[in-house]
Structure 1
């Protein structure tokens, strides 16, 4: 062996042994090896510490990257401009495109429907409407846009109902269209429907079609209001469809008011009429023969202004009103204390500089476009209470605007009959600070509320994305869990670390710590399927245990110390007193359960749950109390283990010095041990709180998942983590719902990070304050 380069193992041999190095060389080798280990430990710990920070930063970056697209503003891009297909001599009454923005239809005042290519305006097909040439079109109306139904009101009191079909098909060459017109309602062989009944001209008209028939509401030239229902019946044997016509006269508007716009909802029960004096009138036409004007209210604030535009949003629950002075408002029918629908202004949007000439609602969302005589166009969204965009599309006044079915485009027609095809980028209009964190007045509600309801069975549903119920539910679940867990964990840790015998401590501490390995899904399963029904059946027992257990334990300890014979006391080793309380715990729990029915009969008329309901307290089987107990058991091991270590590691000279100066054991605990261990105990509490905030399975299985806004211990809740677990599988990737769930995850991440940061600051201050002890 080369003696000039001995192995490191020879550095440990005793001097004088074969292969041993001189003392100086050996110490030099040891110092070098120690330096290598020190550098390795220093930089490896630092590297992995930085890695943890980088991992947290990457989590934040990823969550924010999924949320960031919701922050992009809406935009409009004019893709094409061309003269109105079919000729600019006729006025455009309506224009609509298919869902792929490839083919569109234009209805003109010259009784014609023109189907054309949206890219260049080339005509695909022209079809004359069956309207006599000597009869002028005086009114035009649309059903809810999804139905593709249009109605022409004529000067002779008749109307034509027509639906356009794009008839999309596919072939090897791509997507093909064979557009056509359908006349869904006929009066015998005639497609023209008699509305006025006496030949009076139609000034304004509205149409809705349902499963049982079609209703047409019209304002006539002489100011009369008329409702005509065409009820369709299909023969079971022959399949023949028969139509029965029923006409009703609706009470007139007040003296001096002239109707400017009429609307009919999809239930065909509510009729709205705007007038030239800025008023909106509501008629209940659920029983047309007894139709009555229920409410009238001025909705245009300017005295000289009138209702210049009136249009239902998707679902025909709320209506958008445009004024001749440029105002834009949302109106709903809200039931008052007498259960009567009243016209109620919900919100106002950014006004136009000139009169609002029209409103175009979206097909699948609660958004809409308003436009004015100055060529300005504004994009709004009702639920988020936002005006998303204001843009001048053309210098000429706009005569007509219509949204694409997917809200990703629109057609704007100016008064010179030029068509402007516009691309719309507006993927997440539902999102705003007010919609996510403030009270919102949703359709069908009597007042603004915090609501989370992301989906429903109907297509016209208004998504409700308030994060307040979820955030409050998260805090509520953590609060009740900590309320249950903190006293048991901290007091148990103090007792086992300071008073319990070492042998018993070696049994108790590992038993509690091993509880942390229990899967929370098991705790949630037990809480939801066993504890919740048990608590509901034995409510007096639950509260009796919570209230009487501490009392009986203190009383048992007092009896043991004061009344038991000294000989018996001396036979029990110090630190084993807790074992004596086990029978007391079992007996008190058993007695409370056995006596629960008798207590319920004596104090709560035999049913405590009903008694709570009678006094105005809602009780749900899966509630915050059940979650607090179940989650408390999940949190106790964490708080107990860290707190017990903090108390046990208090230097012995401090406790021995306090005892030597005459302090009692409890004085030593409260004035020395707890103060010295307070940084560790506080860290335990905050770590436990962070665990409770992020808990998923227990709250998912034991809360009922009701996103409510209260701290009622007898009601459930929905937390941020449970909501993500429930709804992420059903959320469309990239959609608003999907990204708001990522926002909820980001809120949860920031909340826990903030709490942990505050906890660390407080812990350092406590350590600095009591480090001199």
Structure 2
């Protein structure tokens, strides 16, 4: 024995064995460090993804800022004239000033240096009123003291030399109405207020004369098809009301006219038929004792912005009421301060505006987000004039001393707030506040709607219906495969099901959208019959099988019953769809879809949540099945054998012993499957109508966060609000997955600890 021990010791301590042990230790160290490096790499990669998403999202919630860039006084002789109004072009280089003598002065918007001037022909009259250029309208309308109106259109063009070098911005002034003035008031009274609106019929001109009487005329404009000249004709409009007004605004296509009384009440007229102008209703804009100080249109001229003597700015627009009648409705109120609002300037490309009160306090607001982005006391005292640049990046203000102050505004994402992203918002044209995602339109006056709520809801809806199908089938299939199926059959079935996971989801989406959706639409009764007939058929077959003599049942070896069940399920499925048409004729008058829509009032889309449930459930089943089956099969056989030895039935052993022991793994399988369903893109994209709606109806589609990112990321402008909100959607998905997986791991650990003593 001593010789044997001595030889073994010598063999173990031989140079060859020592070399092998050193090499093995080196391999263990390398493997350990490689695995650690891989794990840390995953953690670092996920962390970097999180911080990159955060980096792209944070500018959405960055505070806006305003700072003074310059200050100047108009040079003589321009300084000798009174400036009535001013406006700027989108490059923020040139400002246009209209003086009381009818001159349009173009100056450098940074230092006030004169550039050029243009005299507007006034036919010896004087300017008594003017209509400020509104968003989307370049017309400057002037009312004269002889009852006439003159209109000019001012455009700005960037000039380049022959070498392509930028020369600057050149203004161009064109006098409208064929260079003539239009007699608006037949009695030649001075126009104290003037406005206009274009329509298919022509241009509707309106003004206030005397103590506030309305005068109107329609300027019809027709183009001669032969000469190409524009022929104009005037049609005076009889406005029967004798009510005195201080302001009037006309909606696009002259559908409505809003007339403000001196007492702060607003009359709303239906002016679609100019021969029969009808007063629709009257509503108070301010409380008794207060005054309306400003009233302007917002972008698209659908909303009224009303400033009052209490520092409030209120938004109104037409809303269809319960009687299907249009009613001017108060939507929201924003507060600047306590002083009267002196100036309101609407943005030309967004639903924002600038308000300045009599104390020189400046506020920048966005109505959709109900957000006050900027609130700064910039001026000393009451402002005289203000002009907001078309891109809302520059504000030019004339203070009470006649000095012009130029301010730079940095407010790139005013339409984003927690309310606009997650809450109900009342948009123009809607009858009530809603959750809406609609990021683009063919119209420049469109208001983007960025509510993530319907997208998050659609994500959960799609995942819910997918899990509703996949979890029972996958878990029950895993239970049968791991515990009841013969090993020889298991070795063939399990790889086949796991191979399904390699099927590209784009193929599943393509199949679901082009075949499954129309098939399910035409076989709706059969789809629901499958859910009833197959379970009942399997239970009935099992009961009948149990009644057969033992010698017949023994013909099928233990664990091979799946060989019988597969053709049975196929046969029951075929029977269900063969009964689809008879069931539809018997119970639904031959058209189940029409019965759902007309009799039950349930909307039906061909590509709906039910299609997604079947297609995405089919895609998730292999993931849940594989992990759950491994967990069940990994339960020590000693536990199940001990339970059987103590007299428990196989089913009791499965429920009381195997399932609790494998529950952490099963729970992990379900959570991983849910993560797969939440993040799925192509199936949802191709198998649904891709409509972002808030509806749990199984017969309607949805849009998920992942699908929305895939559809719209290529269309979004780099750095825009739309672009960053898509990154916010990705961040929401990331955080949702992270939180769910963290909670799932905590639950799994508790389950493992609870059942570790079995």
Normalising by the smaller structure, the TM-score range is over 0.9
- How far 1:93 sits from its partner (Å)? 2.0
- Asked if 2 retains the 8 angstrom alpha-carbon contact of 1:15 and 1:22, the reply is no
- Asked if 2 retains the 8 angstrom alpha-carbon contact of 1:375 and 1:398, the reply is yes
> Does 1:609 find its partner at 2:593?
yes
Structure 2 match to 1:545: 530
> Does 1:184 find its partner at 2:173?
no
Structure 2 length-normalised TM:
0.96
Structure 2 match to 1:237: 226
Residue in structure 2 matching 1:199, options 182, 188, 193: 188
- How far 1:373 sits from its partner (Å)? 1.6
Q: Deviations over 1:547-604 (max 9, x none)?
A: 2111111111111111x23221111100011211222212211111112111001001
Q: Distance in 1 between matches of 2:278 and 2:74?
A: 43
Structure 2 match to 1:261: 247
Q: Deviations over 1:655-714 (max 9, x none)?
A: 001101110000001111100000000000000000000000000000110001011110
Structure 1 length-normalised TM:
0.94
Q: Deviations over 1:81-129 (max 9, x none)?
A: 1113553333322211221111221111222110112222111112222
Structure 2 match to 1:8: none
> Does 1:631 find its partner at 2:622?
no
- Asked if 2 retains the 8 angstrom alpha-carbon contact of 1:143 and 1:206, the reply is no
- Asked if 2 retains the 8 angstrom alpha-carbon contact of 1:373 and 1:399, the reply is no
- How far 1:265 sits from its partner (Å)? 2.0
SS of the residue 1:689 aligns to:
helix
Structure 2 match to 1:7: none
- Asked if 1 retains the 8 angstrom alpha-carbon contact of 2:474 and 2:624, the reply is yes
> Does 1:208 find its partner at 2:193?
no
Q: Distance in 1 between matches of 2:11 and 2:529?
A: 77
- Asked if 2 retains the 8 angstrom alpha-carbon contact of 1:278 and 1:323, the reply is no
Structure 1 match to 2:270: 284
Q: Distance in 2 between matches of 1:253 and 1:585?
A: 82
Q: Deviations over 1:111-148 (max 9, x none)?
A: 21101122221111122221245x33222113533331
Aligned length: 750
Structure 2 match to 1:163: 153
Structure 1 match to 2:439: 454
Q: Distance in 2 between matches of 1:659 and 1:539?
A: 45
Q: Distance in 1 between matches of 2:173 and 2:19?
A: 97
Bigger Cα displacement from structure 2, 520-529 vs 173-182: 173-182
> Does 1:48 find its partner at 2:33?
no
> Does 1:672 find its partner at 2:652?
no
Q: Distance in 2 between matches of 1:52 and 1:448?
A: 43
Gaps of 5+ in 1: 1-13
Q: Distance in 2 between matches of 1:650 and 1:298?
A: 76
Structure 2 match to 1:9: none
Q: Distance in 2 between matches of 1:145 and 1:518?
A: 53
SS of the residue 2:337 aligns to:
coil
- How far 1:34 sits from its partner (Å)? 4.4
Q: Distance in 1 between matches of 2:132 and 2:111?
A: 26
Q: Distance in 1 between matches of 2:361 and 2:395?
A: 14
Compared with structure 1, are the counterparts of its residues 15 and 634 closer, same or farther at alpha carbon in structure 2 (3 Å cutoff)? farther
Q: Distance in 2 between matches of 1:410 and 1:262?
A: 26
- How far 1:410 sits from its partner (Å)? 1.9
- How far 1:516 sits from its partner (Å)? 0.3
Structure 2 match to 1:381: 366
Structure 2 match to 1:298: 284
Compared with structure 1, are the counterparts of its residues 586 and 21 closer, same or farther at alpha carbon in structure 2 (3 Å cutoff)? closer
Q: Distance in 2 between matches of 1:468 and 1:630?
A: 24
Compared with structure 1, are the counterparts of its residues 401 and 34 closer, same or farther at alpha carbon in structure 2 (3 Å cutoff)? same
- Asked if 2 retains the 8 angstrom alpha-carbon contact of 1:15 and 1:23, the reply is no
Q: Distance in 2 between matches of 1:90 and 1:666?
A: 99
- How far 1:16 sits from its partner (Å)? 7.4
Q: Distance in 1 between matches of 2:378 and 2:80?
A: 22
> Does 1:333 find its partner at 2:318?
yes
- How far 1:192 sits from its partner (Å)? 1.6
Compared with structure 1, are the counterparts of its residues 80 and 211 closer, same or farther at alpha carbon in structure 2 (3 Å cutoff)? farther
> Does 1:505 find its partner at 2:494?
no
Superposition pairs of residues 674-753 of structure 1, within 5 angstroms: 674-753=659-738
> Does 1:485 find its partner at 2:475?
no
Q: Deviations over 1:176-225 (max 9, x none)?
A: 44423211214xxx622111221222222212234652222222223212
> Does 1:589 find its partner at 2:560?
no
Structure 1 match to 2:261: 275
- How far 1:351 sits from its partner (Å)? 3.0
Q: Distance in 2 between matches of 1:241 and 1:590?
A: 72
- Asked if 2 retains the 8 angstrom alpha-carbon contact of 1:143 and 1:207, the reply is no
Structure 1 match to 2:564: 580
- Asked if 2 retains the 8 angstrom alpha-carbon contact of 1:88 and 1:416, the reply is no
Bigger Cα displacement from structure 2, 343-352 vs 732-741: 343-352
Q: Distance in 1 between matches of 2:199 and 2:327?
A: 25
Q: Deviations over 1:248-305 (max 9, x none)?
A: 1334375xxx42221112222221122222222211111111111112111213x111
> Does 1:344 find its partner at 2:342?
no
- How far 1:169 sits from its partner (Å)? 2.1
Structure 2 match to 1:63: 53
Q: Distance in 1 between matches of 2:122 and 2:325?
A: 42
> Does 1:95 find its partner at 2:86?
yes
Gaps of 5+ in 2: none
Q: Distance in 1 between matches of 2:607 and 2:320?
A: 32
Q: Distance in 2 between matches of 1:214 and 1:45?
A: 76
SS of the residue 1:246 aligns to:
strand
- Asked if 1 retains the 8 angstrom alpha-carbon contact of 2:159 and 2:168, the reply is yes
Q: Distance in 1 between matches of 2:167 and 2:338?
A: 43
Please give the root-mean-square deviation of Cα atoms over the aligned residues, in Å: 1.9
Structure 1 match to 2:113: 122
Structure 1 match to 2:139: 149
Compared with structure 1, are the counterparts of its residues 90 and 341 closer, same or farther at alpha carbon in structure 2 (3 Å cutoff)? farther
Structure 2 match to 1:76: 66
Q: Distance in 2 between matches of 1:665 and 1:473?
A: 42
Q: Deviations over 1:372-395 (max 9, x none)?
A: 221111100111110110122321
Bigger Cα displacement from structure 2, 222-231 vs 466-475: 222-231
Q: Deviations over 1:129-178 (max 9, x none)?
A: 21245x33222113533331111112222111111122432114423444
- How far 1:316 sits from its partner (Å)? 0.6
Bigger Cα displacement from structure 2, 51-60 vs 177-186: 177-186
